[in-house]
Amino acid sequence: MLKTIELLKRHGELKIIDAEVDIYLEIPHIAYAEVKKKYGGLALLFTNVVDKKSGVKFDEPVVMNIFGSYKRCEILFGRTIESVADEITSLLHMKPPAGMMAKISMAKELFSLKNIFPKRLKGEGACQQIKYFEEEINLYKLPVLTTWEQDGGPFITMGQVYTQSLDGEMVNLGMYRLQVYDKNHLGMHWQIHKDSSHFFDQYQKAGKKMPVSIAIGGDPLYTWCATAPLPYGVNELLLYGLITKKPAQLVKSLTTPLYIPKDVDYVIEGWVDTTKMHIEGPFGDHTGYYTLEEQYPVMEVSAISMKKDRAFLATVVGKPPLEDKYMGWATGKIFFPLLKTTAPDLLDYHMPENAGFHNLILAKMQPLYKGHAKQFMHVFWGAGQMSFVKHAIFLDENAPSLDNYESVTPYILDRFTPKSLFLTEGILDALDHSSPETLVGGKLGLDATSAHKVQAPELLGDDELLQLIKKFIPDAKALHQYMRRTKNPITVISVNKTKSAKEYFNALVNLSTNIRIVVFVDEAKNDIYNPYMLIWRITNNMDALRDVYISDLMVGIDGTNKNALDGYTREWPDDVDCTKSVVESLKERGLWDLDDKLYNKYYL
């Protein structure tokens, strides 16, 4: 990480904080505020890191927000993101050369591919300069952060988790949160759909312990590669070689058969007893909600090694926008060519960060026949990590740029009718809390590839409409209409809920001459004039099969928190919120400089 720190310094992309800061809440809160600033703020280097509870002062600094801007992503990649995507496109469409010069050019291109394959070295690496075994092992000697007040404990948030299949033929590099239980045990948050979970199943069936090696730091691209949505069985470090034109150089772990990059800052090795599970969580995750306690595998640490000169890499997750906004941007650009292999008429796609990526995708396509958009919906919901997407909107080739929300939103609304909606069921991310059961829930597709004859409603002012609605829904507290100039304005109503939203919708059907799309949210913790966070709240909170209501002219969406009124029997998680006393303490010490307007805008 020290090379990365110097690189960011040279580019003026690093803020150094020398004041004493605590691994418990303080460091994560500062990073959480920094990434909310314009252009993602700066990368952060905390040089005076302590654990106030134990009185420990750490030798190494903590580094955060290194990927937290478009500019820094390209600095760390060492090239433009588009150039990586173009290279993948070229490889996918490689054709037999027609002439001698073409053959020479292809030979050079193919020869360069030899560098994409990781290289296993003999001997030890810099990551093994300091070693701890047996009684010397102590995870609390690492500056592992506790991010949120309700978290189950400290979590490693930027760990590269190296695993292999039972027969050793396949290896995987993934990123999973890792809860520190005690000095030598870590929780493995291997969601059921992930590759490491598939490997775990193999070891469990064989009655064997599973080896795991966790790396932290080193070249930041190792960490990004750990998030890459590659097909099952493909080694993520191949991407490292493709991007850098040099192979990842690996050394064998000290106590497991796994190989890790020689230049990472830390390696935590161990074995998972597949007969044992342990409660993991809660954890304030990238959904902006806490994921609740659940049983997950546990790793018993067999060795910890590290560089002499090192830095501890971490990230913070919670309400958007966050560092994953920029990492996800790079991922989306780079993997677009691969997605086109299953959806060749796809022109572009965009996942708004305020919808938590998996909660909403906008896609532009070339529609060729009736039902083409629905076909694409099925393709998306069956394609790798895209299968976790809850809501998908498809537009034609004439649509504005998908990230130009002011233009693309009216384009969609002017083409919308209730008949253009498609509701179905599919798998969901394990972090999703809205569905009636875990892992499976409603999906919503919207075909906006063709225009429909739609008559605009008879508009009323917000105050007049609210007074009218209160006659039907006494629980209505406030109202605001968005996109009033379109054929399908969106009416957001905040309520103090005493009934299900479906009952509220049914009460408003007679107002279909004035309302087209109505969205219900709770009065508490929502600002109906803040569209950015309304998108976050609504897409998180809705299950399409339960929470979308359709009449001839009107569509209703329930974006409220669910409870017994809705027949919801699971535990509803809390929002991820900053601890006010920590924020006030940081302000007093001059370590919190986030504008109050941004603090309120992002519901911190």
**Residue range 266-300, pLDDT digits in tens:** 999 999 999 999 999 999 999 999 998 999 999 99
Answer yes or no: are the C-beta atoms of 538 and 502 closer than 8 Å. Answer: no
Contact 491, 479 (CB under 8 A): yes
Q: Do 462-566 and 2-314 have the same topology in CATH?
A: no
Q: Which of 423, 428, 416, 429 is nearest to 443 (CA)?
A: 423
Amino acid (1-letter code) at residue 51? D
pLDDT in tens, 85-95: 888 777 655 45
> What end-to-end distance do the CA atoms of the chain give, in Å?
30
Residue 157 backbone dihedrals phi, psi, to 5 degrees: -115, -10
Tell me the domain boundaries of the chain: 2-314, 343-448, 462-566
> Which residue do the tokens 């067999």 mark?
302
pLDDT of residue 553: 87
Cβ(140)–Cβ(180) below 8 Å: yes
The domain made up of 343-448 has a fold known as: UbiD C-terminal domain-like (3.40.1670)
Residue 290's nearest CA partner among 441, 159, 152 is 152
Residue 245 DSSP code: S
The half-sphere exposure of 378 on its side-chain side, counting CA atoms within 13 A, is 4
Distance CA 301, CA 431 (A): 26
Tokens found for residue 484: 């009033």
| CA 161 from centroid of its chain's CA atoms | 17
The widest CA-to-CA distance across the chain, in whole angstroms, is 80
Inter-residue contact 66 to 53 (CB < 8 Å) = no
Euclidean distance between CA atoms 26 and 21, whole angstroms: 6
**3 state SS of 40:** helix
| Beta carbons within 10 angstroms of residue 57's beta carbon | 12
For residue 92, what pLDDT is reported?
56
Low-confidence ranges of the chain (pLDDT < 70): 91-114
Domain 2-314 sits in CATH at 2.30.110.10
b/e burial code for range 464-481 (CB count within 10 A of at least 16 → b):
ebbebbeeebebbbbbbb
Provide the CB-side half-sphere exposure for 418 (13 A, CA): 16
Separation between Cα atoms, residue 215 and residue 225, nearest integer Å: 13
Taking CA atoms, 191 is separated from 165, 265, 494, in Å, by: 16, 26, 34
Q: What is the residue type of 13?
A: E
> Phi-psi bin for 201: left (phi > 0), alpha (psi -120 to 50), beta?
alpha
Strand partners, 103: none
Distance CA 324, CA 356 (A): 9
Strand partners, 187: 179, 298
Q: What's the confidence (pLDDT) of residue 234?
A: 81
Range 435-454 burial, b when 16+ CB lie within 10 A, else e: bbebeebbbbbbbbbeeeeb
Homologous superfamily (CATH) for 462-566: UbiD C-terminal domain-like (3.40.1670.10)
Residue 20: predicted pLDDT:
97
Contact in structure between 317 and 35 (CB atoms under 8 Å): no
Angle between the N-to-C axes of helices 70-77 and 323-340, in degrees from 0 to 180, rounded to the nearest 10 = 60
pTM comes to 0.91
Query: 502: Cβ–Cβ under 8 A, 6 or more apart, which residues?
Result: 549, 556, 558
CB 13 within 8 A of CB 69: yes
